Every structure is written in C-alpha cells, then in structure tokens.
Amino acid sequence: MIVLLIRASTLPGAAEGMKYFVYADFSRLKDAEVWYAAVTQCFFSLNVGFGNIITLASYNKFSHNINRDAFIITTLDTFTSLLSGVTIFGILGNLAYEMKISPSEVIAAGGGTALAFISYPDALSKFTFAPWLFAITFFVMLFVLGLGSLQGLHANLNGLIKEYLPYTPDWKIAGCSSIILFLVGLIYVTQGGQYALDLVDFFGGTFVIFVCAICEVFLIAYIYGVDRLCLDIEFMSKKKVAIYWRLTWGLLTPLLLILIFLYFIWTLKPITYGIDSLRLPLGLEIFGWSILAVTVIQLMGWFFYYLYANRKYPGIQKLTETFSFKTWGPEGRQRTEEWKKFLEEKNATQQGKRSMIPTKIKAIFLDPYKS
C-alpha cells in the first residue's frame, strides 16, 4: 500500500484527487445517508455487529487487557483507512485527469469492487519497473486480506455450530460450512453477480448489521445494564470504567444509532445500480427486504418464545425472568464465587446513593442477578 501511495503521488492529477479526499463539505452533515454510511463503514471496518469479535474474544484470558487491544485496533484501523483513502483517491485523480472529467464523476462511476479490480490495476500498469511483479504482489495481498476477514467471520459460524454439536470434530464443521458457503457464493461470479453482491451488501452487510447493532446496544445498556457491564469490566481488569464510557454506552450511542437509523429509513430511496442509476427489479428488492425481515422476525420470535416459556410467572415477573441472568458469570467455581462476593461488596457500597434511573426500572433491568 505504501508503494502504491508513492507511485500514485507521482501521477498527473493525483493531487486533485487527494485534495478531493481531504476536502470537507460540512453541508453533507445534514444528509442522513452520510451518517448511515459512516456508521456502517465503521461496523464493516472494525467488524462490529458481526459477532466474530465476541467469538474470538471468548478465547482470551479472563484478565486480558481489552483497553490496550481496543486502542491498538482502532488506531491501526484509522491509519490504514487514511492510507488506503489517500492512495485510491490519488489514483482516481489520475483517471479523472486522463478522462478530462472531475474526480467526483470518476468516483461516482468507479465505486465498489471497481476500485480493486480496475483502478488499482490501472495504477500498477503504469509502474516503469516490473509492473507484473507489483500486480502479483497486490492481488496476493488482496487474497491474504480476504482470508483474514473470512477466518474471523467463519470462526463465528463454526463456533455457533460447535455449541450445538460439541462432539463433532472441528474439521468436519469447518469443511461442511465452507462447502455450503462456497456453493452459495457461486452466484457472485454469474453475469448478475455484481447486482447480487450490491443487494446483499446493502441489506445483509449493512442494513441487518445496523439493526443487530442497535438491538445489541439496547440489550447491553438497558437490559443487562451499564452498571453491571462496568462492574464486570472492573472485576476483570481491576480498573474502574470512566464516566465517559458510561454516558457513551448508556446514552449517546443508543440515541445516535436509533436517530440515524430512523431518519435514514424516513429518507430511504429506491436501490439503484450502475452508472445510469437503474432501479433494481421488484423481485430483487423484495428479496432484499426479506433478508432484513428474517432478522427482525427472528429477534422478536426468540423474545416471545422465552416470554411464553416463563408464562407460569405472574405479571411483570414474567418479563424479569425472560431477561434473567442468574446463570451468567465467569467460568470456574472459584472465580464465580469471587465475582459474586465482588458484586455484593459493590451493591452494599452503592446502597443509599441516589440514581438517575427509576427504582422499578432499575430493579427490572439493572439488577438481573437478584432473585
């Protein structure tokens, strides 16, 4: 990537493309689609909401330094995003120079997979020394990056299957899931594969993930409880959680996510593809919305299932039992006892202090370990 950046910087018109990249048009902040795209890009770049972070984190040591990991990962992600952004916009600026059009027109026509398979190869072909060598290196890099991303997402699926089939060898689970996903993915190499990719990316890769992320944040903040989450982190890391994170997890993040999502839905436009912005066939749009519907129906279905399973309890207790976390805790009897003792000490310390949250709501949502 650094080699490409150096080469892109020497191309005519690259400066205009880079200038377009760093130029800020603050009027676009009023556009909900911009905020939605920014949030979903963060989800995709950091793999937030896909489940693989939780799966991979389950292999960490109990006292693993998550603060350090979060800082390193987000910093490196920001750096690589800026590096790749400057590089690709330098290349697009060169294309705009050669085509005698503005960078915005090139970007509008060359998004998505065209960046990797058209823009970058075009820049590599202009290398004066061994362009074939750099082309091979670039596509090997793409292949390795793809394997890395796939490994994390695949581990999430295989881990879920392993929970239900604990005695099945790992290689059988990985092999069967890989074959099935390979067969499903063949649709992307057909003539209409690009349109199928755009459709699944819009609904499955962003829309569904956004909905799942909102549900996850609300469940953690208001069902499991920010107080309980902070106590868990304090018990594992031996450090108190700052008030900034409490406000972010409990107020700012849920509020911003739901506002962005609702405003985006309100201003949603028909899905289009291609340079001419052609609208997708009605059947494909229905299929895309069905992907989202399956996710939402499944979430609601499990909620009502557990609500029905606790039908023997009266009134509000039925709801509290549905969201009960009595069996939740750290692995190992000794550590569980230490954790319970830690919670008892914290609860005793907190008694008598005023809370911004009504007592009944706190009793339901923030004290799930109490019987």
Which tens digit of pLDDT belongs to each residue from 18-53? 888 888 888 888 877 788 888 888 888 888 888 888
Determine the 3-state secondary structure of 277 from DSSP.
Answer: coil
Please give the mean pLDDT across all residues of the chain.
80
pLDDT of residue 180: 92
Spatial separation of the C-alpha atoms in residues 87 and 6, rounded to whole Å? 8
Q: Please report the pLDDT score of residue 191 as a whole number.
A: 81
pLDDT in tens, 78-112: 898 888 888 888 888 887 887 787 777 777 665 56
Cβ(325)–Cβ(306) below 8 Å? no
The more confident residue out of 119 and 221 is: 221
- Average pLDDT value for residue range 326-351: 80
Distance of CA 40 to the CA centre of its chain: 7
Cβ atoms 115, 141 nearer than 8 A: no
Q: Is the pLDDT of residue 369 over 50?
A: no
pLDDT of 360: 41
List the binding residues for Na(+): 45, 145, 149
User: Which among 119, 46, 168 is positioned nearest to 159, based on CA atoms?
Assistant: 168
Please report, in range form, the residues annotated as the binding site.
Answer: 45, 145, 149
330 token code pair:
């750290």
The answer to whether the beta carbons of residues 77 and 85 sit under 8 Å apart is no
Tell whether the model's pLDDT for residue 194 goes beyond 70: yes
Long-range contacts of 73-81 (CB under 8 A, 24+ apart): 73/46, 74/46, 77/45, 77/46, 80/1, 81/45
Per cent of the chain over pLDDT 70 is: 89
Q: Please, how many CA atoms are within 13 Å of residue 232, restricted to the half-sphere of its CB?
A: 17
